[in-house]
Structure 1
Amino acid sequence: MTDFLLELRSEEIPARMQEKARADLASLFEARLRALNLEYGAVESYATPRRLALIVRDVADATQPMSEERKGPRADAPDQAIQGFLRSTGLTREQLVARDDGKGGQVLFAVIERPGLDAPAVLISACMNAIQSFGWPKSMRWGDASISTESLRWVRPLQGIVAMFGEKIVPFEAAGVKSGATTVGHRFHHPAAVTLGGASDYIEKLRACHVIVDGAERRGIIALGAKMAAAKAGLTLIEDDGLLYENAGLTEWPVPLLGRFDEDFLAVPPEVIQLTARVNQKYFVCAGKDGKLANAFVCTANIDAADGGAKIVEGNQKVLAARLSDARFFYETDLKTRLEDLQPKLEKIVFHEKLGTVADKVDRVAKLARWLVEEGIVTSSPSPLRGEGRGEGQPSSSASPAAQAPLPTLSPEGRGLLADQAERAARLAKADLVTGMVGEFPELQGLMGGYYAAAQGEDPAVAEAIRDHYKPVGQGDDVPTAPVTVAVSLADKIDTLVGFFGINQGPTGSKDPYALRRAGIGVLQLLIDNNLQIESDYLAARAFGGKYVDHFVGAGTWDHANTNVATDVMLFLVERLKVQQREAGVRHDLIDAVVSLGEPNLVRLLARVHALQAFIGTEDGRNLLAGYKRAANILKKEGWESADKISLSYTPEPEENALLQALDSAEPLAAQAIGREDFEGAMAALAGLRAPIDAFFDKVIVNDSDPAKREARLSMLARMRAAVHTVADFSKIEG
């Protein structure tokens, strides 16, 4: 068993490509070794800015001989068919084997013996296959050969190849570069040729030449060195995994160095400073003892400088100062214009050709955000799960299908102020899209609007809503709870969903160009975390009304009717909820059991699901499910649907009376609990049916010869089924 080394050296490989390239090289190489039946042990792969490397441990000296059998034509087939088969196998007619086909005839077979191949031949094949079929995100051709589309494509011009089996060179050529045993060290510390002895000394020999080939090791050096540099200055490093990988992908000999910038720049929002340092210069930033951003950064040099890095730090400080000066200019210039004065510019930005401009969207969101507060859906504070009744000023059930929670005490003036704040925040929320800072750093949209709103004296609740109205932007992101922010964020996301579903641009398969799945998850998190009690289809229908109906339906650009859009959005949100809950460990069949009831209030739907999961995990739950399944099977077989009032024209069995009494008790208790949204209580009420239904099946013959008894008993089972269905459709539950 011998180790094999492959190094492919080129000009700089972009940092973002290195980790995947390293894994892809190992995958391609292993696939070829398996296909050619060459045994091997562990595979290690490495990447630096200038090289991809692979070490295959314990490679066998040769492949095992193989025997391949191929079925040919019948023995009495035309000579032309037999000759064609012989040409494809390289055998003669005498070398073919005839075997009975079980039908009185014979079929010809070719048995081809393939001798074992020496490891170097297989390794050459694996190397060429990996190089020629490598899939870089971006690649290029170079040199004179580049005039042909058949020439090799690589991420950057290939400069050297090392291929060694043990201490011997595995000879081959790719793109005019011949394999050998020579590489180069660090560009500055050791640019001369380095002769390798094989895989055994590859890593350590390059380390001696100031090249650390293992990306994980480089990341560890940067992480520890940056923390130590910050700690030495009495600061704390603000960690950033993405930046850690990027710096490791830019260096072969990383040396973290601490630098400083002028404290005056700290007047710029800290997010701007951090983004400027990160995006433009790949620097880490630091925090002081007070937790606030400090005027310090950590850069990663690719050289162990004789002066300890003083000149490197000085140069990086000058570059960062220039960048921060630009950022401060944008910030100070933006502050000179009030957000409302920027709104006319939104009329020139197209949100979507069928959905109007950003200004149109702002108008819709502002009206919807105000309505969410005025209707009491978003209150002055998150409300607990509601009890019976509605709060003062809330619409009655006949006025709207919104299921409201009792409002905390809030005067009409207070609610009006909240509605004004929500509308104001929504109308200003998108204004920062046309500022210089967001034009430079689109990642800061919303955040900068919040800073500008605070600077121009807007109410803190308005500034906070502008800052956070894009949240949550994905799983794990903070979910707003401030009422004004919740109203604007929910209105913005619902408007987006309704708009794109209205023009038939919903997600399809893996395609989601408008990030509607992310918007849907955001809506769910806002509704659930803030316990917003509203039917999702009603909310979508409200969003569809007004501006959409007036301006787009009349213009003929809509492909759905109002109700269809609302229903489509509701079903989409339910599907997102199902996916989200499955990922959280909730059984899919329990979700389906509740979803099938058509519950449009997603907060209530989720509460039902959690209560059902807890109940089914108990002995009462499992036994009731078994009884339900038995009853449902009998009813299905008999085609019995009626659960009307049961008429007993005979003397019932004690078990029948017991079941009827249990139903008389459980049905109202379950209904009352559901009315209180106490789904655990509803389950507990249904648990009282367990013993009576068990006894009923043990002692009572359902399909009695007496038609009156049969009808009454089937109706009892149908009533039991209907009682259970008030909480969930148990027919969807597995087990």
Structure 2
Amino acid sequence: MPDLLIELFSEEIPARMQAAARDSLRRLVTDGLVEAGLTYAGAGAFSTPRRLVLAIEGLSAESRPSRDERKGPRLDAPQQAIEGFLRSTGLALGDLEIRDDKKARVYYAVATRPGRPAAQIVAEVLEGAIRNFPWPKSMRWGAGALRWVRPLHSILCLLHDEAGAQVVPLSVDGIEAGESTRGHRFMAPEAFAVTSFEDYAARLRRARVMLDSAEREAAITQGARNLAFAAGLDLVEDAGLLAEVAGLVEWPVPLLGRIPEAFLGLPAEVLQTSMREHQKFFSARDPKSGRIEGFVTVANIETPDDGATILKGNLKVLAARLSDARFFWENDLRVAKAGMADWAEGLKSVTFQSRLGSQADRIGRVAALAREIAPLVGADPDQAARAAGIAKLDLRSAMVGEFPELQGVMGRYYALAAGEAEAVADAARDHYSPLGPSDAVPSAPVSVAVALADKLDTLTGFWAIDEKPTGSKDPFALRRAALGVIRLVLGNGVRAGLSDLFAKGFGAHQGGQSAGADLLSFFHDRLKVFLRDQGVRHDVIDACLALPGSDDLALLVRRATALAEVLKTEDGANLIQGFKRANNILTQAEARDGVEYSFGADPKFAETEEERALFDALDQADARIAPAMASGDFAAAMAAMAALRGPVDAFFTAVQVNSDNEIVRRNRLNLLSRIRQTCSGVADLARIEG
């Protein structure tokens, strides 16, 4: 079975597109080969800035012959039907087979297709993949019609086995497939031929090209760490930048430089952001002071002077960039020390949303809501309101104008420069958090109050104007805001009813109160997604949502977690079956009799020890469950419920509910109602699946 090697060699592919392009090439080609009747053992895709590569192992040498049969009309069918069948198959009457089919004789069209050689199929599939490649952006060049992300220079396409290598005959817009490629653009630009993937990878390495992006990432990381360590610094890890830089170089050569003294007074976040965004530099910090004092740039070439000239040029550009950042910083500090009044005034003319007013209007709402929330999280109301009032002022700063990702971060620096309390400044930094599932959750009380107020104002505002997420569309990131509220509430154990918080938020928006129930339902859906990722089943959450107090998320999650743990035990799982059996019998009897059996179960009518034991067990469970639920000790309540498993099982084993004695039957049905009532005090077990 031959192996297949494909290389599509072009001008530089943008780093951000390379991972998706690798996946697309592998999918398009392997899916196409399989659909055409070939099989393969394994496939690996690779990329460098100038090439996409696919290596397929164990490809079948040819597709299997196929035989297609199609049943036609009976022999005595109308002539029109027979002629229509012949037209649809493209066959003559004499080409059809006649077979016995039950009580009639029927025409069959049989088409056999011989197997095709792999080279023929590969050529068809690869041409289709190239012509229909899903680049986010593509271009045409010269006089050809082909579109590619950047001009495509050559196609390498080889089938190889023990007998040797064979070029797959293929031409795409005048580009003929061959067996040659090129190495590094500057250090080994000459073309060379290859005979297999192993030969290809080895010769590329000798030509100063690391084919595997993971290998380039590892080389960059190790080299940068070693350089930083030798200089007495620590490398600041940055996974996103690492992946991007690995897509910019074919032969990574890390180089370390020092940041000029004149810029070391800039905040670490400013230095790191400026170097990452503008020059793709990694930052290196002093492990003692935490200051960013160095940088690592990754060259794409080895030089006789060990990169000295490259570093000199980079330092010149870096100095210019950091001079701009220092100018922004110094001007912003002057505004901050003057009280930030200019920024506050400027936000009056910045629209938050056409129907929700300006950023200044929004700040007023968030400040009022933060004051209301503060006592619930142990924060000082005045500090919470003050923090909310200044948290967004840095949006008018020059630094955030240049680097929007620093909003909040710069807000803390400017708040401290303005003489604000540290808790207020921290809240200005933290109020956007958590931004995503991996972002840290603020825990300082003032920060929690402002972060909650900010997100709740967003949600109640957009619900009030009926701008809700639909399907996959969520232009205002409302799902993320709801998840942020959930993580803030659960992460800090905030005991508060969302309905009350919604009412406070809607109070600032005309006509928004009626949307509260819908917004709570939206939160419950987000909570299900959040808890599902933590292993809590959706039906367990539904069972707890059916009880009062479902707008207290912290309480709800504690109840759901306790129920989930009980259901993992044998008693808990079996009790569900007993509960459902009791509920089914009771529901059927109530429907048949037209009455509700919910009162009057009396142990004096019990005829068996199992009945009397169940009465006693229910009395004990009720005595334990009610106070446990009232105090929030859900584990104890669930344990008391699970303890009913044995008496319930024994009851159903020994007792026939539908007795011939009507008094005994009614008493037993009312006893089943007690099972339902007792368990329903903990959760709606009817919603538990399985």
Smaller-chain TM-score bracket: over 0.9
2:625/2:636 contact within 8 Å kept:
yes
1:293-308 matches, cutoff 5 A: 293-308=291-306
1:44 aligns with 2:44: yes
* Gap regions ≥5 residues in structure 1: 146-150, 381-417, 554-560
Q: Deviations over 1:270-291 (max 9, x none)?
A: 1111111111111111122216
Deviation at 1:105, TM superposition (A): 4.8
Q: Deviations over 1:309-363 (max 9, x none)?
A: 0000111111111111111111111111133431122222222222222222111
Q: TM-score, normalised by structure 2?
A: 0.93
Match of 2:658 in 1: 703
Q: How many residue pairs were aligned?
A: 678
Partner SS, residue 351 of structure 1: strand
Deviation at 1:72, TM superposition (A): 4.0
1:56 aligns with 2:56: yes
Deviation at 1:252, TM superposition (A): 1.0
Partner SS, residue 677 of structure 2: helix
Match of 1:721 among 651, 661, 676: 676
Match of 2:334 in 1: 336
1:81-120 matches, cutoff 5 A: 82=82, 85-86=85-86, 89-106=89-106, 108-120=107-119
Structure 1 pair 660–309 and aligned structure 2 pair: CA distance change class (3 A): same
Of 630-639 and 615-624, deviating more is: 615-624
For residues 120 and 318 of structure 1, what CA distance do their matches in structure 2 show? 53
1:587 aligns with 2:537: yes
Deviation at 1:75, TM superposition (A): 4.1
1:498 aligns with 2:453: no
What residue identity is the alignment partner of 1:723? T
1:181/1:198 contact within 8 Å kept:
no
1:158/1:175 contact within 8 Å kept:
no
1:8 aligns with 2:2: no
Deviation at 1:451, TM superposition (A): 1.0
Partner SS, residue 296 of structure 1: strand
Match of 2:357 in 1: 356
Of 487-496 and 212-221, deviating more is: 212-221
2:586/2:597 contact within 8 Å kept:
no
For residues 78 and 263 of structure 1, what CA distance do their matches in structure 2 show? 96
Match of 2:547 in 1: 597
Match of 1:489 in 2: 451
Q: Deviations over 1:630-650 (max 9, x none)?
A: 221211111264423546785
Deviation at 1:543, TM superposition (A): 1.0
Structure 1 pair 43–616 and aligned structure 2 pair: CA distance change class (3 A): closer
For residues 341 and 159 of structure 1, what CA distance do their matches in structure 2 show? 56
Q: TM-score, normalised by structure 1?
A: 0.88
2:346/2:396 contact within 8 Å kept:
yes
1:186/1:210 contact within 8 Å kept:
yes
Deviation at 1:27, TM superposition (A): 1.2
1:26/1:54 contact within 8 Å kept:
yes
Structure 1 pair 317–682 and aligned structure 2 pair: CA distance change class (3 A): same
1:340/1:428 contact within 8 Å kept:
no
For residues 61 and 622 of structure 1, what CA distance do their matches in structure 2 show? 55
* Gap regions ≥5 residues in structure 2: none
2:605/2:667 contact within 8 Å kept:
no
Structure 1 pair 660–302 and aligned structure 2 pair: CA distance change class (3 A): same
Partner SS, residue 247 of structure 2: helix
Structure 1 pair 361–73 and aligned structure 2 pair: CA distance change class (3 A): farther
2:606/2:612 contact within 8 Å kept:
no
1:148-159 matches, cutoff 5 A: 151-159=145-153
Deviation at 1:88, TM superposition (A): 5.3
Match of 2:227 in 1: 229
1:262-273 matches, cutoff 5 A: 262-273=260-271
Structure 1 pair 71–329 and aligned structure 2 pair: CA distance change class (3 A): farther
For residues 96 and 697 of structure 1, what CA distance do their matches in structure 2 show? 67
For residues 43 and 638 of structure 2, what CA distance do their matches in structure 1 show? 55
Q: Deviations over 1:89-147 (max 9, x none)?
A: 454321211234435352x32222212222221121121111112110111112123xx
Structure 1 pair 280–78 and aligned structure 2 pair: CA distance change class (3 A): farther
Of 606-615 and 484-493, deviating more is: 606-615
Deviation at 1:618, TM superposition (A): 3.0
CA-based RMSD of the aligned residues comes to 2.2
Match of 1:179 in 2: 177
Partner SS, residue 377 of structure 1: helix
Match of 1:638 in 2: 589
What residue identity is the alignment partner of 1:195? A
For residues 268 and 478 of structure 1, what CA distance do their matches in structure 2 show? 25
For residues 483 and 60 of structure 1, what CA distance do their matches in structure 2 show? 65
Match of 2:28 in 1: 28
Match of 1:165 among 153, 159, 163: 159
For residues 631 and 421 of structure 1, what CA distance do their matches in structure 2 show? 56
1:277-676 matches, cutoff 5 A: 277-290=275-288, 292-337=290-335, 338-373=339-374, 376-380=375-379, 418-545=380-507, 547-549=508-510, 553=511, 562=513, 564-598=514-548, 599-639=550-590, 641-646=596-601, 654-676=609-631
Structure 1 pair 291–716 and aligned structure 2 pair: CA distance change class (3 A): farther
Of 91-100 and 18-27, deviating more is: 91-100
1:540/1:565 contact within 8 Å kept:
no
1:138/1:155 contact within 8 Å kept:
yes
Of 614-623 and 201-210, deviating more is: 614-623
Match of 2:249 in 1: 251
Structure 1 pair 32–689 and aligned structure 2 pair: CA distance change class (3 A): closer
Match of 1:213 in 2: 211
Structure 1 pair 117–723 and aligned structure 2 pair: CA distance change class (3 A): same
Q: Deviations over 1:463-491 (max 9, x none)?
A: 00000001111212211111111110001
1:712 aligns with 2:667: yes
Q: Deviations over 1:677-732 (max 9, x none)?
A: 11112223334544443444344443233333332322222122111111111112
What residue identity is the alignment partner of 1:364? R
Deviation at 1:198, TM superposition (A): 4.2
Match of 1:678 in 2: 633
What residue identity is the alignment partner of 1:93? L
Structure 1 pair 57–624 and aligned structure 2 pair: CA distance change class (3 A): closer
Of 119-128 and 50-59, deviating more is: 50-59
For residues 129 and 194 of structure 2, what CA distance do their matches in structure 1 show? 22
Q: Deviations over 1:176-199 (max 9, x none)?
A: 212222222211112222233343
Structure 1 pair 60–647 and aligned structure 2 pair: CA distance change class (3 A): closer
- Percent of aligned pairs sharing the same letter: 48
Partner SS, residue 507 of structure 1: coil
Structure 1 pair 55–87 and aligned structure 2 pair: CA distance change class (3 A): farther
